[in-house]
Structure 1
Amino acid sequence: MTLENLITKDELRSLTDAYASLGDDKRISEQMALFTPDATYQVYMNGSLVANIAGTENLEKEFNGHASQVKTYFTLNGQHVVTIAENTATGTSFSQIKMIRESEGKHNITDYSVKYDDTYVRQNGKWLIKDRTGYFVIVEARALNL
């Protein structure tokens, strides 16, 4: 493995970590800067496609709508495996996401175990997410005692 590949892998890991951190902080407009303008984002739950969004303008609207319903996000990123080919790369990453929502004065937490398949491109010296597919493999919801 070359030094260049190690640097690229670190940059790509930083990109996926920034995606999670900005999302947790609900800094959606900043999060959109991590995508190409024509990016696609798909979500599968229980094997069914539940979201298919194209373009950062549409992504921002969708993410803001979702964030308005969530009181707190908390994301932990795990493995991140990438394959690099010059100015493009593909990657698979795993995340644990917790979302707290309030309903009728009660707090509910949903735990998501997610596998992301990504396509990345390097544009103007910066890695961006071109395509992201999230597979929500395990979803568990329960009341949260605060």
Structure 2
Amino acid sequence: MTNTEIANRLALKELVDTFSNLADTKDVCAQMKLFKEDAKVVSINGDQKFVSEGKEAIGKAFSDYLDLFHTVYHLNGQQTVSFQYNNHAQGISYCQVVLITNQDGKEVTRTSGVRYQDYYEKIDGNWLIASRESHFIWTKVD
């Protein structure tokens, strides 16, 4: 593995981890800086599929969803990456997502196992998310 490939792998791990950190603080404005202008996000949860295209639509979808919860917590796991040309890559990363809200005076915790299928593009020396499919593999509600 070359030094360039190692640097790119580290940068992509940082990109994915930064996305999660910003979700936890609900800083959607900063999250949108991690996406290409014409990015696409698809969230798949069972039979439900939600598609957002473009940073503005993605930002609104993220804000609307995160506003449902008072606590958001992501724990990222493994990530694999393959490179296509010097400025394109794809990756799979795993994450445990915990979302906590109040319903009828009770705390409700949703914990999900999520697999992200990402496509990245390096623009002006920075890796950005070009598209992301979020597959909610399992969810437990307490």
Give the TM-score of the pair, scaled to structure 2: 0.97
1:124 CA displacement:
0.9
Q: Is 1:38 equivalent to 2:38 in the alignment?
A: yes
Which amino acid in structure 1 is aligned with residue 36 of structure 2?
T
Q: Specify the SS of the correspondent of 1:95.
A: strand
In the alignment, the residues of structure 2 paired with residue 129 and residue 30 of structure 1 have an alpha-carbon distance, to the nearest angstrom, of 13
* Residue pairs, 1:83-122, within 5 angstroms: 83-85=82-84, 86-122=86-122
Task: Tell me the residue number matched to 1:21.
Answer: 21
Indicate conservation of the 8 Å contact 1:42/1:49, yes or no: no
Give unmatched runs, 5+ long, in structure 2. none
In the alignment, the residues of structure 1 paired with residue 51 and residue 62 of structure 2 have an alpha-carbon distance, to the nearest angstrom, of 12
1:111 CA displacement:
0.4
Which amino acid in structure 2 is aligned with residue 42 of structure 1?
V
Which amino acid in structure 2 is aligned with residue 20 of structure 1?
S
Q: Deviations over 1:87-136 (max 9, x none)?
A: 00000000000000111111100001000000000001100000000110
Deviates more, 1:48-57 or 1:31-40: 48-57
In the alignment, the residues of structure 2 paired with residue 107 and residue 98 of structure 1 have an alpha-carbon distance, to the nearest angstrom, of 12
Indicate conservation of the 8 Å contact 1:119/1:132, yes or no: yes
Q: Specify the SS of the correspondent of 2:91.
A: strand
Moved over 3 A (4+): none
Q: Specify the SS of the correspondent of 1:17.
A: helix
1:68 CA displacement:
1.1
1:49 CA displacement:
4.2
State the Cα RMSD in Å: 0.7
Q: Specify the SS of the correspondent of 1:69.
A: coil
Task: Tell me the residue number matched to 2:60.
Answer: 61
Indicate conservation of the 8 Å contact 1:80/1:91, yes or no: yes
In the alignment, the residues of structure 1 paired with residue 62 and residue 91 of structure 2 have an alpha-carbon distance, to the nearest angstrom, of 22
In the alignment, the residues of structure 2 paired with residue 125 and residue 3 of structure 1 have an alpha-carbon distance, to the nearest angstrom, of 15
Indicate conservation of the 8 Å contact 1:99/1:109, yes or no: yes
